[in-house]
Structure 1
Amino acid sequence: MMVPQWQPYKFGYHVLDGHGHQHREEKSDGVGNVRGSYGYTDAYGHYRQVEYVADQYGFRAKVLTNEPGTASKNPANVKVLSTRGGEH
């Protein structure tokens, strides 16, 4: 069995069109640690951004949003930070 040879990398994109804005960025340090983010803002101004890390401690994500119906809660091992306050 071959052991993977980690290589550093970095990529990203940003798209702005009539539906809103989308983006993704990710980078690896070459020894198995990855950091990144992705998200969107729709035509109504609702946004969601996910920032994440994957390393020797596992995968961890933080969600930033103002989507209707969300509140700042932390289910599982995910942090959700909402500016909406949970109203529906």
Structure 2
Amino acid sequence: MSQDNPVADRLLAEARKKSARRESPALGKVALIIGIVALVASPISIVGWIGGLAAIGVGLAAVRNPETAKPAKIAMGLGFAAILVGVFFFTLNIA
């Protein structure tokens, strides 16, 4: 970085931080963890629904990054399965 233009240097540093944050694989891992927890807890109907929706939402946010697309898609599938299992157990308890 140069001393000639401190504004440009500051903007460049902020842009690098933003792109590093965007390329981080953490969001895909978080989505995958939420999906697994939601599927395990899905026999408790409301927990499965909320966890499944959270996994789908975080997965949708993570699928934009090519590095985290695969875990994000798996997390969305797990979230959908958690919702289905939650609906099954809810229906089972009512019947």
Normalised by the length of structure 2, the TM-score is 0.29
Relative to its length, the structure with more strand (as a share) is 1
Q: Give 1 or 2 for the bigger CA radius of gyration.
A: 2
Q: Which has the higher contact order (CA 8 A, sep 6+)?
A: 2
With structure 1 as the length reference, what TM-score do the two structures score? 0.31
